[in-house]
Chains A and B, each alone.
Chain A
Amino acid sequence: MPIRANLLANLQQALNATVTPNLTATSHGDDLYEAYVWSIVLEAARTRGATTSFKDVHGNSVTGQFVFRTSPCEIWWDAQNYCHAELAFNGCPELEVHVGIYVAGRSMVRHECDVAVLHKSEADLCRSRHVLPRASKVVLAVECKYYMNSTPGLALGRAFLGLRDEIQKDNRFFVATSHSASVDKLLSKHTRDYDLQLSPVTPHNVDVMRGTFEQVFGNFKARHR
Chain B
Amino acid sequence: MVRRTSAEFVGRADYTAEEKFEMVLGAVRAVVVGGAKIQDALAKTLGATDHTAEIHFEPGETGDVTHSFRPTEAVSRRGHVEEVERLLDELVEDVKRAD
B-contacting residues of A (Cβ < 8 Å)?
A: 1-4, 7-8, 10-11, 14-15, 17-20, 22-24, 26-29, 31-33, 35-36, 39-40, 42-43, 54, 63-74, 77, 79-80, 82, 100, 148, 177, 199-201
Contacts and interface: CB of A to CB of B under 8 A. Distances in A.
Given A200-B38, A201-B30, A17 B77 contact: yes
B30 to A, nearest CB: 6
A201 B29 CA distance: 7
Contact of B60 (A14, A27, A70): A70
A204 to B, nearest CB: 14
Interface residues of B, number: 52
B34 A201 contact: yes
Contacts of A7: 87, 90-91, 94
B44 to A, nearest CB: 8
Interchain residue pairs A-B with the least CB separation, the first 7:
A73-B60, A200-B37, A27-B67, A39-B45, A17-B80, A80-B58, A69-B60
Contact of B38 (A8, A32, A68, A72): A32
B56 A72 contact: no
Contacts of B73: 20
B83 A14 contact: yes
B36 to A, nearest CB: 5
Contact of A11 (B36, B53, B59, B84): B84
A4 B92 CA distance: 11
Contacts of B91: 3, 7-8, 11
A31 B56 contact: no
B60 A15 contact: no
Given A23-B39, A70-B60, 5 more contacts: A18-B77, A20-B36, A20-B73, A64-B53, A201-B34
B98 A66 contact: no
Interface in B51-75: 52-63, 65-69, 73-74
Contacts of B36: 18, 20
A201 B30 CA distance: 7
Nearest to B65: A26
9 contacts: A11-B87, A14-B83, A15-B28, A20-B36, A27-B67, A32-B39, A63-B53, A66-B55, A67-B58
Contacts of A28: 57, 65, 67
Contact of A66 (B28, B32, B48, B59): B48
